[in-house]
Every structure is written in structure tokens, then in C-alpha cells.
């Protein structure tokens, strides 16, 4: 079924399938240097005070999970993940 179309039961499932792009702020322990920026392409990476803040737009849940898996695979300690609010509908 295509998102935004009427399903076989006649119900409009548009709202349930809507994808929202959301800006996230992800904080990890330790200050990452510039070579780590390529691992988070398209996102801003700022390091200070023993932490690194990664901010950027996440397109959907799969994108968010991929980012968190990358952080885990790099052996980084996750401190927090916070959405900053919806930006637009996809």
C-alpha cells in the first residue's frame, strides 16, 4: 500500500505512515577530533568539555537507529539523544 492512500478497509492511514524529519542532538562522552566527522556526514560535530555533540536532521526511525548503531560500533559512550522538534513532513 502506498502511504497516503485509502487502505482496503477504507481507512485513511496517511497520518500513521507519515515520516517526519526531526533535528536531533546526540551527545557522546569524549572529544572526537575532525577525522570522526566523516562518520557523521551531513551532521555537525562539536567537541568541548569532555563531550562531543552531534546535531543534524534525521529523516526517519531507520536513520536514527543507523546513527546509534554507528556510535555503538565506534565504541563511543552515548550520553543522551534528544529531538529538537519536527521540521517537515516527508
Please say if the pLDDT value at position 16 is more than 50: no
pTM, to two decimals: 0.71
pLDDT band at 70 (very low <50, low <70, confident <90, very high): very high
pLDDT of 89 = 53
Asked whether the beta carbons of 36 and 45 are under 8 A apart, the reply is: yes
User: Is there a domain that residue 79 lies in?
Assistant: yes
Range of the domain at 85: 20-89
d(CA 20, CA 49): 32
User: Is there a domain that residue 15 lies in?
Assistant: no
d(CA 4, CA 7): 9
User: Is there a domain that residue 47 lies in?
Assistant: yes
The CATH number for 41's domain is 3.30.70.1560
User: Is there a domain that residue 11 lies in?
Assistant: no
The string of pLDDT tens digits covering residues 23-63 is 999 999 999 988 888 899 899 999 999 999 999 999 999 99
Tally of structural domains, the chain? 1
Amino acid at each position: 500500500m502506498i502511504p497516503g492512500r485509502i487502505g482496503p478497509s477504507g481507512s485513511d492511514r496517511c497520518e500513521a505512515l507519515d515520516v517526519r524529519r526531526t533535528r536531533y542532538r546526540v551527545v557522546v562522552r569524549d572529544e572526537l577530533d575532525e577525522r570522526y566527522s566523516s562518520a557523521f556526514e551531513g551532521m555537525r560535530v562539536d567537541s568541548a568539555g569532555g563531550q562531543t555533540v552531534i546535531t543534524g536532521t534525521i529523516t526517519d526511525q531507520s536513520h536514527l537507529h543507523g546513527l546509534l548503531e554507528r556510535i555503538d560500533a565506534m565504541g563511543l559512550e552515548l550520553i543522551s539523544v534528544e529531538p529538537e522538534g519536527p521540521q517537515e513532513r516527508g
